[in-house]
């Protein structure tokens, strides 16, 4: 790599292009990075080996920044000024190894030849950083085509953020993320990446960075982690389920039959069924309905708050934070369950966010913290359960931390995808795999309890009737058989 020199480090960004973020389904609040070894560098025309026994070697066409001067603790404007050149990069990755180092990406993205760069360098001063284009071709077919106009984290921001803790040296390379269209390359494929500035004078371009894919012959040894893939990895590597040739897992949804059974059952009845199945701690304790008389049934989404700390609130509490992300991404029939550590001395939901949930078709909100604007929230009509009302705004006791993680709300563990049911008695959480069994059992129990109540109303004593002894159960079964 004589033309570009050997950098002291190669740093890559996980997600940056809105098109790729939409594919992944998660929006980062801040840039996150990983290192690639300089030994992974390659030049145009080199061959990349897909290791023996693997199947998911994926290309990612990217804009690469070349640092021109040493920088430390610079502003975003100063960060862009420190870039001397732009070139094309292909951030190759082996999804077969993500299981053991996902996030660090050391082996999955650090193999020899996994970071080709070049072939030409565009002087950074000659282009607008928001007016670059990156394109990728596989065997001559255009697969990626996007611009830097809408990057979530502009180039100067990336440099400034890194420089807070890390000195960037001349020649260092920063890979700035890949747009949608990344997919799997097969042995024999030719992958080309080009970065250009179509609106700049002379239309400067890096030329096409060419990489040829070959099949490896040396298998992985037993003493290290072996390649492992599943359908989720295949879908992420290829870009979608259809291209990967697998059936995408259908999002969990309540069937009309199950929903009807749960609607006819009281939360107390559902709680009894869960207890019979070995789940005595399924209730979200301490919460009450702000909308008495309403029934809530839906699939759980989760939001977790951590205890307030000024530095964490500064980094996680402002902007499009986890709380806003959670409410803004709710879908029809979902219940947002909020872990606030049982601290009801600060609001965790208010009227605006509750209204947003309502307009998106959400089924309800549950928080073991407090609700702000409680009267207005109740007036919206969305089933809402909270421990108390409190006037404070976000920032007094809580920091919004993460979305769609496993949480503990009111003493109950809640996983995204669990089913949440609430009424005036409280809220219970049904593990997804038990929903059908619980719904059927609860419907049967409701029918039995209604029959028992009718006998009590007729004047029968409860002894032997509640619960049913053998004699009364026989009478009940006989009555059931007579029903149409």
- Give the pairing of strands 173-175 and 10-13: parallel
Segment holding 358, helix H or strand E: helix 351-359
Reduce the DSSP state of residue 395 to 3 states and report it: coil
Query: DSSP letter string over 139-181?
Result: TTEEEEEEESTT-SS-HHHHHHHHHTTS-B-TT-EEE----TT
Q: Is residue 352 part of an annotated ligand binding site?
A: yes
Q: Looking at residue 277, what DSSP letter applies?
A: T
Give the C-alpha separation, 195 to 208, whole Å. Answer: 8
Give the C-alpha separation, 427 to 286, whole Å. Answer: 9
- Cis-peptide, bond into residue 299, ω within 30° of zero: no
Cβ contacts of 92 within 8 Å, gap of 6 or more: 48, 57, 58, 59, 60, 109, 111, 113, 114, 115, 116, 211
Cβ-contact 47, 214 below 8 angstroms: yes
Q: Is residue 360 part of an annotated ligand binding site?
A: no
Q: Is residue 351 part of an annotated ligand binding site?
A: yes
Cβ contacts of 117 within 8 Å, gap of 6 or more: 1, 4, 41, 42, 43, 64, 87, 88, 89, 173, 209
Give the C-alpha separation, 52 to 216, whole Å. Answer: 5
Give the pair of three-digit tokens for residue 404. Answer: 């769609």
Give the pair of three-digit tokens for residue 381. Answer: 């009509």
Give the C-alpha separation, 432 to 25, whole Å. Answer: 22
Q: How many helices (H) and strands (E) does the chain have?
A: 15, 28
Alpha helices in 65-164 (DSSP H): 76-81, 98-101, 106-109, 155-163
Give the C-alpha separation, 180 to 84, whole Å. Answer: 27
Q: Is residue 475 part of an annotated ligand binding site?
A: no
Q: Looking at residue 407, what DSSP letter applies?
A: E
Cβ-contact 211, 47 below 8 angstroms: yes
Give the pair of three-digit tokens for residue 165. Answer: 């803790």
Report which of 237, 188, 197 is spatially closest to residue 88, judged by C-alpha positions.
Answer: 197
Report which of 66, 70, 22 is spatially closest to residue 206, judged by C-alpha positions.
Answer: 66
Cβ contacts of 323 within 8 Å, gap of 6 or more: 303, 305, 348, 353, 394, 400
**Positions at the binding site for substrate:** 350-353, 372
Binding residues: 350-353, 372-373
Detail the residues annotated as belonging to a binding site for Mg(2+): 373
């Amino acid at each position: 790599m004589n033309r570009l020199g050997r950098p002291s480090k190669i740093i890559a960004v996980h997600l940056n292009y809105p098109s790729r973020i939409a594919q992944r389904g998660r929006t980062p609040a801040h840039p996150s990075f990983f290192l690639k070894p300089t030994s992974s560098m390659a030049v145009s025309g080199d061959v990349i080996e897909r290791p023996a026994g693997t199947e998911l070697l994926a290309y990612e066409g990217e804009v690469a920044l070349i640092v021109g001067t040493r920088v430390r603790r610079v502003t975003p404007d100063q960060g862009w000024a420190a870039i001397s050149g732009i070139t094309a990069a292909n951030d190759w990755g082996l999804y077969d190894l993500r299981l053991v180092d996902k996030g660090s990406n050391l082996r999955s993205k650090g193999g020899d030849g996994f970071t080709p760069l070049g072939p030409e360098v565009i002087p950074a001063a000659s282009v607008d950083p928001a007016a670059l284009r990156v394109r990728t071709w596989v065997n001559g077919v255009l697969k990626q085509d996007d611009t830097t106009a809408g990057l979530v984290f502009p180039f100067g921001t990336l440099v400034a953020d890194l420089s807070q803790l890390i000195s960037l040296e001349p020649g260092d390379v920063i890979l700035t993320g890949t747009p949608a269209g990344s997919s799997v390359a097969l042995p024999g494929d030719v992958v080309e990446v080009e970065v250009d500035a179509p609106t700049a004078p002379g239309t400067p371009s890096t030329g096409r960075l060419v990489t040829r894919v070959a099949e490896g012959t040396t298998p992985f040894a037993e003493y290290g982690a072996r390649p492992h893939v599943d359908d989720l990895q295949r879908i992420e590597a290829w870009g979608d389920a259809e291209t990967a040739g697998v059936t995408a897992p259908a999002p969990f949804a309540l069937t009309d039959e199950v929903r009807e059974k749960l609607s006819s059952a009281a939360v107390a009845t559902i709680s009894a069924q869960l207890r019979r199945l070995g789940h005595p701690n399924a209730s979200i304790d301490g919460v009450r309905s702000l909308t008495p008389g309403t029934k809530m049934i839906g699939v759980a989404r989760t939001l977790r708050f951590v205890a307030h700390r000024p530095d964490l609130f500064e980094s996680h509490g402002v902007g499009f934070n986890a709380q806003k992300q959670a409410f803004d991404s709710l879908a029809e029939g979902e219940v947002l369950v909020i872990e606030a550590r049982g601290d009801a001395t600060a609001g965790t939901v208010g009227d605006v966010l509750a209204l947003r949930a309502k307009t998106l078709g959400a089924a309800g909100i549950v928080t073991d913290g407090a609700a702000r604007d409680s009267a207005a929230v109740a007036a919206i009509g969305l089933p809402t359960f909270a421990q108390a009302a409190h006037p404070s705004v976000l920032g007094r006791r809580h920091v919004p931390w993460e979305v769609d993680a496993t949480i503990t709300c009111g003493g109950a563990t809640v996983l995204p995808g669990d089913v949440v049911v609430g009424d005036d008695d409280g809220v219970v959480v049904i593990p997804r795999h038990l929903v059908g069994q619980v719904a059927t059992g609860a419907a049967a129990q409701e029918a039995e309890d209604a029959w028992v109540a009718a006998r009590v109303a007729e004047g029968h004593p409860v002894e032997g009737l509640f619960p049913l002894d053998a004699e009364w159960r026989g009478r009940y079964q006989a009555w059931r058989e007579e029903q149409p």
